[in-house]
Structures are given as structure tokens and as C-alpha cells.
Amino acid sequence: MFRKMVICAATLLMMICLSGCGEEKVEGTPDKAILAYAEIFMTGDSANLAAAGFSETYKENIRGQMIEAFSESFKDIAPLDDASLKTVTEKFYSRFKDEIKFQVTLKKDDAKNPVVEIKTTPPNQVEANRAALNNDELIALIGMVGQLKADGATDEQLKNNPEVQKLAVTAIDKYIDNIPLQPEKTLDVTCEAVKGPDGKLLWVPTDLKVFKNFIRGEPKG
């Protein structure tokens, strides 16, 4: 009887071990992952990469998302070439790296969908757009691009036009300089584990669009 009990216990222990071995570990912690993501996206870097489980490759992936955001935001004013996009993105990072801060708290500890509270003072894009009405370089850029398009210029030709690119960088630099911050705001971020570019499981927001719109200060609606 005792021998049977020992065999059953050993079998049960083996099943538990095998079950545990099949589960893939999520790198880092949810709160540090949300913090690092926000810091990289808005300032270009983070001191929390290791705690978040993020690699340098993933950091560059997040930086690339901000470059794409700039490209999308200004495409109707002036298509930007790669050099211009890199210049204005670095300008944005430089502008906010010492000014915008993030605070995170693990609000709900859950193995599948933890919730992290993030607090920050997002950029005030509404006021920035109002200030842009007095941006002489931006107004000149809109006029220049409008005339070139009327003459048949394509987006690719505008990207290869050094005068357009130079004025675009100057105008956007001035726009970035005049972005104020909003009062502190809070967002609850539900997380999920997904595979990063290096194949490791990482914590990310389940609704990345809402998260990025929040930290960018994107107006709702």
C-alpha cells in the first residue's frame, strides 16, 4: 500500500513538472515593460530595458514606430525623406527627454492580463496646433508644397527636393519647440504577453493604439 502511494505521488510530481516545463516564461515585469515602452517611444531610450525584458533590437523597433508616426502626421503637409524623419525624431526626443516623466504602478497582478496604471503629463497637441498658426516656416512650407503639387510634383519628387526637406525640418523643429505639456493624466493599461522580434515573450499593451495615443497626447475623437 505504501509503495503504491509513493508511486502515485512520484507520478503526480512528474506530471506537474512536465506541465510547468511547457510554459514559456515572459521576460521582465508588466509595470517595467509599460514604463520602458513609454520612455522609448517618447524620449528614445530607457534605463529600464533589462527590467522590462527588452532587447536593443526591440528598443529600435519602438523608436521606428515613432518615426512612422512622424511620417504619418506630416505626410499631408510635406512627405519627409529618411534623413529628415531621423532629424525631426531626434529633435522630438531631445525636447522631451528631460521634461516628460512617467510613473507606473502594477494595479492588477494577473498571470494572463495584468493591469498597469501609468501617469504622465502628455504633450498638448491642441495647443501646439494653435501655436502652429503663427509658425511662419510651416505656413511657407504649406505654400511651397502646394505650388509644387499644383505643378505636378509627386511625393517622391518632394522627398528628393532639398529645399522642401530643409524647410520642412526647420518648420517641424519650430513646431516641436512650441509643444506644451498637459496636466497630469492617468491611464489603466491592460497587458498581454506577445513574442518580440527576438522570439521572446514580452509584456505589451493589449490596445497599443490607445496606449500610444495617450502618451502622445493625441486628442480623442
How far apart (Å, rounded) are the C-alpha atoms in residues 86 and 64? 10
d(CA 190, CA 12): 35
pLDDT value, residue 67: 93
Other C-beta atoms lying within 10 Å of the C-beta of residue 113: 13
pLDDT in tens, 121-130: 999 999 999 9
C-alpha cell at 85: 524623419
The pTM of the full predicted model, rounded to 2 decimals, is 0.86
Task: Provide the residue type at 143 as one letter.
Answer: G
pLDDT above 50 for 9: no
What tens digit of pLDDT does each residue of 39-64 get?
Answer: 999 999 999 999 999 999 999 999 99
pLDDT confidence tier of residue 197, bands split at 50, 70 and 90 = confident
Comparing 20-29, 45-54, 188-197, the range with the smallest average pLDDT is 20-29
**Beta strand pairing call for 185-195 and 102-108:** unpaired
Tens-digit pLDDT profile for residues 147-167: 999 999 999 999 999 999 999
With cut-offs at 50, 70 and 90, classify the pLDDT of residue 221: low
pLDDT averaged over the chain? 89
pLDDT, position 159:
97
